[in-house]
A and B are shown apart, each in its own frame.
Chain A
Amino acid sequence: MDRLDDLEAQSIFILREAENRLTPLGMLWSIGKDSNVLLWLARKAFFGRVPFPVILLDTGNEFPEVYAFRDRIIKEWGLSYIDAPCPPVEETDPSLPPKARAAARKTLGLKRIIAARGFRGVMLGIRRDEQAVRGKERVMSPRDAAGGWDFRHQPAEFWDQYNAEPPPGGHIRVHPLLAWTELDVWRYIEREGIPVVPLYFSREGKRFRSLGEKDITFPIDSTAASVGEIIAELEASREPERAGRAMDHESEDAFERLRAQGYM
């Protein structure tokens, strides 16, 4: 088994645990590269059929290419899709910095769809290497009724025995890609031929390395126009992946506060 086989087998194990233990279960699909890999792994785990709905936390602010890609994949892969509209920025925590408030719209959208559908498990494609605060996450992470993350008192998780029991009124965040790195994701996309939004590929010297909403995500300088070129670029780079995500950098603890309040 090589490194990608190892990661794939582990993620499939987690997906199957979540599907067995947490009903109803939904998957957040940001339509970025990571959640596409997650969706692909779900198809492998369940033999071509995705047995739970996929949810877009829709701010209405995604790039048009993202919406077009979404419509194509829903049809081709026969997905059960939920569009979860996010409340306007006025409803977010006013003490957060401005870009973080834009991101916090998704937190509110997520809380509402969880409440509306009664989800006990929500799966998402975050990785430990993306961002230091995400590095502390568990594979199955309990959230209280308010959706908050108590990172100071996380339950123990070892030997692949996950915390698949939501607290009263709460839910479990499931993170099957936690052990993957950005490079692993691209190498797997290359190996498996997984489709991604074309915005990741260079056009006129710029490409998106991390995809968020139009107004708070910025492209990087790059000439990488294929998956192979992206891999070569990343192998040589020391720039952090989320450098183009404005909300991470407004203050020392902005992202930590977002996550404690229930952000992905």
Chain B
Amino acid sequence: MAAPPLKLVVVGHVDHGKSTLIGRLLHEAGALPSGKVEELQRLSERRGVPLEWSFTLDSLQAERDQAVTIDTTRFWLTLGGRDLVIIDAPGHREFLANMVSGATGADAAVLVIDAAEGLQDQTRRHAYLLRLLGLEQIAVVVNKLDLVDFAEARFRALEQEARDFLAELGLEPRIVLPLSARHGDNLARASANLAWHEGPTLVEALIEFGAAAPAEEAPLRLPIQDIYRQEDQRILVGRIESGRLAQGDTLLFSPSNKLARVKSLEGWPGPPPESAGAGRSIGLTLDRPLFLERGELASHVENAPMLANRFGASLFWLGVEPMVEEREYRLRLGTAEALVTVERIERVIDTDSLAPLAADEVQRDQIAEVVLRSPAQLALDDHARLPRSGRFVLRDKGITVGGGLVLLRGVADQRRAATGRADNLTLVSHKVTQDARAARFGHKGGVMWLTGLSGAGKSTLAMAVEQHLFRKGYAVYVLDGDNVRSGLNANLGFSPEDRVENIRRVGEVAALFADAGFLCITAFISPYRADRARARAATPPGRFHEVYVSADLAICEARDPKGLYRRARAGEIGEFTGISAPYEPPLAPSLVVDTARQPVEACIEQILGYVAQHFATESGAA
């Protein structure tokens, strides 16, 4: 059977001759319908212009009138026994969205450069986009050599310039070719005008390119598209983006973190297959009734995607309105959808010079690196590892405004924490009741969870409050970095994963203290809402009190009791909260203590007042 055709996108600056090149290729391949060349000749005569090969393509009236390609379109041809689909992509800056719409479907690219004009801004921008879109098979064509008298020196100079620019992007063209598309020199046949050129013609070069193979060897990724109920069966459907799955495999669903085995693959008509690989649209049933929804990502247990709600991205922006920090957009990642907030625009890249620009917004057609966060956990793959599941689009007001690649460097995998308690344990009930404990201690057990920036005053307040309460007879204990890191969490470092685990353990230990009837005070920055929500969930209902120790960054940085801000500013500490990593303030704290606007003593009184009100027993012994 026929192999899938090679999909080839032709890109480059406006007027550098992309459409002419394609028109001429179609002609050389005998792919123009009979009568088309004659029709073009008639048209050209009627308009009093020389025969334009690009008229073959620019079939929309609007495009012929402006002699500019507006939208992407496709052509089918066979060259040297190879089936090709050519995707024409507009070069005009304002049509970048159309260029991307065309280029993302391609296996390989031809970058066209006008020999007279050389590399222009859209040449560079398109090259950058090719890298972002993951297109690595590239042929560079120096076109219109007839305009520079087929001068070899001009070609060599442009070849070097193009190679240098692509090398800076980490791209290496398969070949750089001289050409005159309008006259057909070196297109399908070697040309006497280019006798100095010893390499292949463009057609010879193109038929050597390979179609992108579906990634069957890669880890399994199956985004769940829908669930159909049919005759008591629940059929999960979706397209396998990478890897293979077979009947009997155990699947892990993310982000719900549920496991089940594949009972059967389903198909119509005829017997369904026993296994299926990347590229197939399949249906399957599971061995147990799980509640799953569209947007779950199925994988094997080994090589699962990462779970995180904050991640980096390299993106191109197509929106008319610029992208700005703290704005929400709708993320689509595979079949999953979530609201994400732009936490930080790290840099905007000037595609001409490749220099980072200082900017706090990303304009239309710009390329940037950003940090995104979502209130919910997302199943993520780094784009470099799994391109098809490591890319996403952002939508706003019902249209796609940007595309991006997931970068997971420095991102914490929350899966271990999300796994939660083992659910195969049987909890043994204590014979001592909570009421009995409260009666003994004279107050209720619970957790006072202090959160805030480094330097906000958490430890100072926690220790002072502990002392006051202890004197009043409270069973009270403070958990902070020092007493936890030296023992319980001695095996944890400061990687993002370890920080998540550090807070998870603190939450669990605090919950045990509360269960024992103690008032447990914790003093950790605990910058992420997700981590604090988990600690709350670990504590019996109603016994978790979130205290926001509030002071703005400038004040904390001025206090800098441990000299950490200075070191973070100097770049000695990476991912430092407030400087290079975010702090997510509580949305509904039980208590806000403003250490910037009131003295320490007033803050302590405020907390003691809260404790007296919320931890007192009915008899009020304390």
Contacts and interface: CB of A to CB of B under 8 A. Distances in A.
Interface of A: 1-6, 8-10, 12-13, 16-17, 19-20, 43-49, 128-129, 132-133, 135-136, 138, 151-152, 154-159, 161, 163, 165, 167, 179, 181, 238-240, 252-253, 256
A157 B30 CA distance: 31
Interface string B96-112: 01101100110000000
A167 B269 CA distance: 37
B606 to A, nearest CB: 49
Contact of B393 (A5, A161, A256): A161
Given A4-B1, A43-B269, A47-B266, 8 more contacts: A8-B281, A12-B239, A47-B267, A48-B269, A129-B76, A136-B73, A157-B400, A159-B393
Interface string B478-498: 000000000000000000000
B437 interface: no
25 contacts: A4-B2, A16-B281, A20-B225, A43-B269, A47-B228, A47-B267, A48-B268, A129-B74, A132-B57, A132-B60, A133-B60, A151-B71, A156-B97, A156-B98, A156-B400, A158-B104, A159-B392, A159-B393, A161-B393, A161-B400, A165-B398, A179-B74, A238-B33, A239-B33, A252-B43
B3 A2 contact: yes
A3 B283 contact: no
A12 B100 contact: no
A5 B225 contact: no
A76 B394 CA distance: 44
B411 interface: no
Contact of B33 (A3, A135, A158, A240): A240
Contacts of B391: 159
Contact of B398 (A158, A159, A167, A239): A167
B72 interface: yes
B581 interface: no
B294 interface: yes
Contacts of A167: 398
Most buried by B among A46, A135, A158: A158
B400 A155 contact: yes
Contacts of A4: 1-2
Contact of B60 (A1, A155, A256): A256
Given A44-B268, A152-B62, A1 B279 contact: yes
Contacts of A45: 237, 281
A154 B60 CA distance: 14
A47 B235 contact: yes
Most buried by B among A128, A155, A156, A163: A156
B226 interface: yes
B268 A47 contact: yes
A155 B225 CA distance: 23
Contacts of A240: 33
Interface string B36-76: 00000001000000000000010111100000001111111
B403 interface: yes
A133 B61 CA distance: 9
B101 A158 contact: yes
Contacts of B57: 132
Interface string B362-387: 00000000000000000000000000
B101 A9 contact: no
A48 B268 CA distance: 6
A9 B278 CA distance: 10
A10 B240 CA distance: 11
Contact of B399 (A3, A20, A155, A253): A155
A2 B398 contact: no
A151 B60 contact: yes
A252 B47 CA distance: 13
Contacts of B235: 47
B280 interface: yes
B32 to A, nearest CB: 8
A144 to B, nearest CB: 13
B73 A163 contact: no
Nearest to A131: B59
Given A1-B4, A4-B1, A159-B391, A136 B97 contact: no
Interface in B388-446: 391-393, 395, 398-400, 403
A181 B76 contact: yes
A135 B74 contact: yes
A204 to B, nearest CB: 24
Contact of B70 (A5, A152, A256): A152
Contact of A163 (B59, B74, B398): B398
A167 B398 CA distance: 8
A12 B281 contact: yes
Contacts of A156: 97-98, 100-101, 318, 399-400, 403
A12 B76 CA distance: 22
Contacts of A163: 398-400
A17 B358 CA distance: 40
Given A13-B239, A48-B268, A129-B74, A238 B1 contact: no
A132 B294 contact: no
A129 to B, nearest CB: 6
Contacts of B225: 13, 16-17, 20
A7 B145 CA distance: 39
Given A135-B73, A152-B62, A2 B1 contact: yes
B598 interface: no
B534 interface: no
Contact of A136 (B33, B60, B75): B60
Contacts of B74: 128-129, 135, 179
Contacts of A46: 228
Contact of B104 (A10, A138, A159): A159
B60 A47 contact: no
A132 B73 contact: yes
A127 B322 CA distance: 35
B248 interface: no
B33 A157 contact: no
B61 A252 contact: yes
B182 interface: no
Which 4 residue pairs of A and B lie closest in terms of their CB atoms, listed nearest first? A132-B59, A2-B1, A158-B104, A156-B97
B5 interface: yes
Most buried by A among B5, B268, B281: B281
Contacts of B281: 8-10, 12-13, 16, 45
B214 interface: yes
A49 to B, nearest CB: 8
A256 B61 contact: yes
B98 A154 contact: yes
B40 to A, nearest CB: 12
A10 B7 CA distance: 15
B21 to A, nearest CB: 17
A161 B30 contact: no
A16 B226 contact: yes
Interface in B83-126: 83, 97-98, 100-101, 104-105
B230 interface: yes
B353 interface: no
B4 A6 contact: yes
Contact of B71 (A3, A5, A154): A154
Interface string B294-315: 1000000000000000000000
Nearest to B227: A20
B101 A138 contact: yes
